[in-house]
Amino acid sequence: MPLPQIYLDILAKKEYNEESLAKLNELASLIRSRILEVVSKNGGHLSSTLGAVELIIGMHAVFDSPKDPFIFDVSHQAYAHKLLTGRWDSFESLRQSGGISGFTKPEESEHDYFIAGHSSTSISLGVGVAKAISLNKEEKTPVVLIGDGAMSAGLAYEALNELGDRKYPMVIILNDNEMSIAEPIGAISKYLSQAIAGKFVQSIKNKLSNIISNAPNATYLAKRFEESIKLITPGMLFEELGLEYIGPIDGHNIKEIINALKIAKNIKKPIVIHAQTLKGKGYSPAEGHLEQWHGVSPFDMKMGKSLSKASTPSPTQVFANTLLELAKEDSKIVGITAAMPSGTGLDLLIKELPDRFWDVAIAEQHAVTQSSSLAKEGFKPYVAIYSTFLQRGYDQIIHDVGILKTPVKFAIDRAGIVGEDGETHQGLFDISFLKPIPNFTIFAPRDNATLKEAIYFANSFNEGPCAFRYPRKSFKLQDGIFTPTPFSLGKLEELKKGEKVLLIGFGNGVGKAYECANALKEIANLECGIIDLRFIKPLDTESLAKIGAKYPYWFVFSDSVKIGGVGESLCAFVSETCLKAKVHSFEFRDEFIPHGKSEEIEEKLGYNNYLPTILDLLKA
Confidence label for 184 from pLDDT (cuts 50, 70 and 90): very low
Instruction: Provide the angle, in degrees to the nearest 10, between the axes of the packed helices 610-619 and 509-524.
Output: 60
> What predicted TM-score, i.e. pTM, was given to this entire model?
0.86
CATH code for 5-195+243-289? 3.40.50.970
**Over the stretch 310-368, which tens digit does the pLDDT of each residue have?**
678 999 999 999 999 999 999 999 999 998 999 999 999 999 999 999 999 899 999 99
Q: Which residue from 29, 27, 33 is spatially nearest to 60, judged by alpha carbons?
A: 27
Strands (E) located in 373-413: 380-386, 409-413
The answer to whether 155 and 122 have CB atoms below 8 angstroms apart is no
Determine the pLDDT at residue 181. 42
What is the CATH topology of the domain spanning 315-417+425-439?
Rossmann fold (3.40.50)
Distance of CA 600 to the CA centre of its chain: 21
Tell me whether residue 161 is annotated as binding.
no
Residues serving a catalytic function are 279, 364, 392
Tell me whether residue 203 is annotated as binding.
no
CATH code for 493-619? 3.40.50.920
Tell me whether residue 149 is annotated as binding.
yes
Tell me whether residue 60 is annotated as binding.
no
Tell me whether residue 118 is annotated as binding.
yes
DSSP conformational letter for 286: G
How does strand 305-306 pair with strand 299-300? antiparallel
Spatial distance between the Cα atoms of 518 and 447, rounded to a whole number of angstroms: 18
**Over the stretch 424-464, which tens digit does the pLDDT of each residue have?**
899 999 999 999 999 999 999 999 999 999 999 999 999 99
Determine the pLDDT at residue 266. 93
CA distances from 116 to 42, 102, 146, 200, 364 (A): 20, 10, 12, 36, 17
Q: Domain limits of the chain?
A: 5-195+243-289, 197-232, 315-417+425-439, 493-619
Spatial distance between the Cα atoms of 575 and 422, rounded to a whole number of angstroms: 35
